[in-house]
């Protein structure tokens, strides 16, 4: 993880100024797991141990993570590759800021949380019963993949990978590889995952794996044309795929997976803004001290302020679903996830919420990311958050006429502004 102190040191300021700046801009923050550990240590919270599933049921309940969020992945792309197969998939459960990974017969749970400033933080939790469960911080192994330039933008982050596997779950390199985003066409999503639900005529790439072993596929372009990746796109259950008895659910809801894709991307972009912000804030404060015009940060050019603007632009575009792949038919899940998700959101006087799903032609009814309410977004320094709000307001009021926002209709923009004014007190009128 890139520390804020390390970023500050690149400015060449004095040690005193750097230290002062890091104290001001990087206050001690704790992710949800660190907060839970403090409660466990103080005896304020207990986690019941299940004889089959260990701490999983209690952890989900304590963190308010719905079982309906369960996604099942059989691609061997995890810390526990030796235990993941098409007949024993890894289960992932999530809410807005915590991800839990469960693998059959594993001695520990995999846990990832969002630190409000520093991004993804990784833990394991032993499945052995203890009077006081202890989350162990993972600092190196996970970040080898979860802080790569290609997958997370170089910040400690998250990713949903779509990759064809062989019959044992080993990825076939070069076949549908890559991180999935809102812009990824549905037919290219979720290879290596089990998926329940319907996704329109084009389907998705879930539930299918190669009958060949990875090393047996020598001509990958030819094999790609031979294998029907969409043959099992309409499954509403996973009967015959694996024994679901060791899991909390037999489903891997398509709607939950789509929300998972969106929020992993936006989490990473928020973290990127956090990493860019300290240098820009310092530059701004020095300009004010010297009496220079601080509005210059809004002009083209290099330096910390320019980097911050670029990262904010990426974030705003992702939050507004620029480039989102259009659904070619209605999407339907197989669990209560869609309703569970929508019920968690703040609503305006007309009952509208940024968590309302569309699922006909796009994911959300009002296309602005619900992560605008997240702790990590709220923790952005005022300079960075103000730039996000300025860009959002310019788009939503029509002051920014860029064609890349043409998917937002006039009614979309009005509704989003109304919802923000009613539910986001610091959003400027």
> H helices of 188-253, where?
220-226
Rounded Cα–Cα distance for residues 163 and 172 (Å): 7
Strand partners, 98: 113
pLDDT in tens, the chain (429 residues): 222 222 222 222 333 333 333 333 344 458 999 999 999 999 999 999 999 999 999 999 999 999 999 999 999 987 788 999 999 999 999 999 999 999 999 999 999 999 999 999 999 999 999 999 999 998 655 555 665 555 666 777 898 999 999 999 999 987 766 789 999 999 999 999 999 999 989 999 999 999 999 999 999 889 988 899 999 999 999 999 999 999 999 999 999 999 999 999 999 999 999 998 877 766 666 666 666 655 444 444 566 788 888 999 999 999 999 999 999 999 999 999 999 999 998 999 999 999 999 999 999 999 999 999 999 999 999 999 999 999 999 999 999 999 999 999 999 999 999 999 999 999 998
User: What's the 3-state SS for 286-324?
Assistant: HHHHHCCCHHHHHCCCCCHHHHHHHHHHHHHHHHCCCCC
Rounded Cα–Cα distance for residues 368 and 354 (Å): 7
Which pLDDT score is estimated for 154? Answer: 74
- Predicted TM-score of the model (pTM): 0.88
Rounded Cα–Cα distance for residues 2 and 235 (Å): 42
Q: Which two tokens stand for residue 150?
A: 């290609």
C-alpha closest to that of 125 among 71, 156, 194, 79: 79
Q: What is the DSSP string of 319-347?
A: HTTTTPPPPSS--B-SSSHHHHHHHTS--
Rounded Cα–Cα distance for residues 79 and 7 (Å): 29
Which pLDDT score is estimated for 277? Answer: 81
Classify residue 221 as exposed, middle or buried by CB count within 10 Å of its CB (0-12, 13-18, 19+): exposed
Which pLDDT score is estimated for 289? Answer: 62
Which pLDDT score is estimated for 301? Answer: 52
Rounded Cα–Cα distance for residues 367 and 384 (Å): 21
Which pLDDT score is estimated for 138? Answer: 81
Which pLDDT score is estimated for 146? Answer: 60
Which pLDDT score is estimated for 388? Answer: 97
Which pLDDT score is estimated for 285? Answer: 64
Q: What is the DSSP string of 386-421?
A: HHHHHHHHHHHHTSS--GGGTTS-HHHHHHHHHHHH
Rounded Cα–Cα distance for residues 256 and 33 (Å): 22
């Amino acid at each position: 993880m890139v520390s804020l102190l390390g970023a500050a040191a690149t400015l060449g300021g004095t040690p005193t100024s750097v230290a002062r700046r890091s104290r001001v801009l990087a206050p001690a923050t704790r992710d949800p797991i660190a907060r839970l550990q403090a409660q466990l240590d103080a005896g304020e919270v207990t986690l019941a141990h299940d004889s089959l599933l260990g701490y999983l049921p209690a952890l989900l309940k304590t963190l308010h993570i719905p079982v309906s969020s369960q996604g099942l992945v059989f691609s061997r792309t995890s810390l526990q590759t030796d235990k993941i197969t098409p007949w024993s998939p890894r289960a992932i459960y999530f809410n807005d800021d915590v991800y839990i990974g469960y693998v059959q017969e594993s001695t520990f749970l995999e846990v990832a949380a969002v630190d409000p400033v520093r991004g993804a933080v990784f833990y394991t939790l032993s499945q052995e019963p203890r009077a006081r469960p202890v989350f162990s911080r993972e600092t190196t192994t996970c970040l080898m993949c979860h802080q790569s330039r290609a997958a997370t933008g170089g910040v400690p982050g998250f990713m949903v990978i779509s990759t064809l596997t062989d019959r044992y779950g080993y990825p076939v390199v070069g076949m549908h590889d890559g991180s999935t985003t809102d812009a990824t066409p549905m037919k290219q999503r979720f290879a290596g995952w089990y998926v329940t639900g319907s996704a329109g005529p084009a389907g998705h790439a879930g539930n299918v794996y190669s009958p060949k072993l990875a090393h047996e596929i020598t001509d990958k372009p030819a094999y790609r044309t031979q294998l029907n990746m969409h043959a099992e796109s309409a499954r509403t259950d996973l009967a015959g795929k694996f024994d679901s008895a060791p899991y909390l659910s037999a489903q891997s809801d398509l709607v939950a997976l789509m929300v998972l894709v969106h929020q992993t991307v936006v989490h990473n972009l928020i973290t990127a803004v956090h990493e860019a912000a300290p240098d820009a804030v310092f530059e701004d404060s020095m300009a004010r001290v010297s009496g220079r015009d601080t509005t210059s940060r809004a002009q083209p050019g290099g330096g910390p302020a320019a980097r911050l603007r670029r990262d904010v632009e990426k974030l705003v575009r992702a939050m507004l679903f620029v480039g989102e792949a259009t659904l070619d038919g209605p999407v339907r899940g197989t669990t209560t996830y869609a309703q569970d998700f929508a019920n968690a959101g703040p609503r305006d006087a007309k009952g509208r919420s940024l968590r309302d799903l569309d699922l006909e032609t796009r994911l959300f009814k009002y296309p602005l990311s619900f992560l605008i309410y997240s702790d990590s977004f709220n923790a952005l320094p005022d300079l960075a958050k103000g730039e996000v709000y300025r860009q959002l307001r310019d788009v939503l009021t029509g002051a920014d006429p860029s064609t890349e926002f043409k998917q937002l209709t006039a009614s979309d923009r009005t509704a989003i502004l109304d919802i923000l004014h009613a539910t986001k007190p610091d959003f400027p009128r």
